[in-house]
Amino acid sequence: MAAKKNPLKLNKLQLRTLVLAQVIARDERQAVHHSNGDVTLSQLPHAHGNHVHVGEYVVSAKETSGFSNAAVWAALVRKGLVKEVGTPITLTAEGVVYDTGLGDKFLKKSDH
């Protein structure tokens, strides 16, 4: 039987926030990888103009609204994808590998 898509029933904002956090987690300059599979993000990017640089990608600033939404982070904590609400953000091993289905939907590589 195929794995169910979005088994934790994350909403669109939670999915977008998680996939962007996963992109940051892949950048060794912005993340600390722990032996248990968790990844701590050193910081979340901030918008300049109408876009945000997330790793090697440029994302519309409106797509990153979940970064500043405490309810989104609280939901990701409840579902076991993030350790706790606060700074820095630590994705659990489950959060690092959760398939959001959005990996290639709205990310494009930066040209600057």
Contacts of 36 (CB under 8 A, 6+ apart): 93
Query: Under DSSP, is residue 108 helix (H, G, I), strand (E, B) or coil?
Result: strand
Of 59-63, 74-78, 95-99, least confident by mean pLDDT is: 59-63
Domain 12-109 indexed as CATH 1.10.10: yes
For residue 87, the one-letter residue type is T
75 band by pLDDT with thresholds 50, 70 and 90: very high
The sign of the CA dihedral 29, 24, 105, 69 is negative
For residue 52, the one-letter residue type is V
Of 38-47, 75-84, 97-106, least confident by mean pLDDT is: 97-106
- Residue boundaries of the structural domains of the chain: 12-109
Q: In what order do the strands lie in the sheet with 89-91?
A: 31-33, 39-41, 89-91
pLDDT of 108 over the 90 cut: no
pLDDT of res. 11: 97
pLDDT of res. 45: 87
pTM reported for the whole predicted model: 0.88
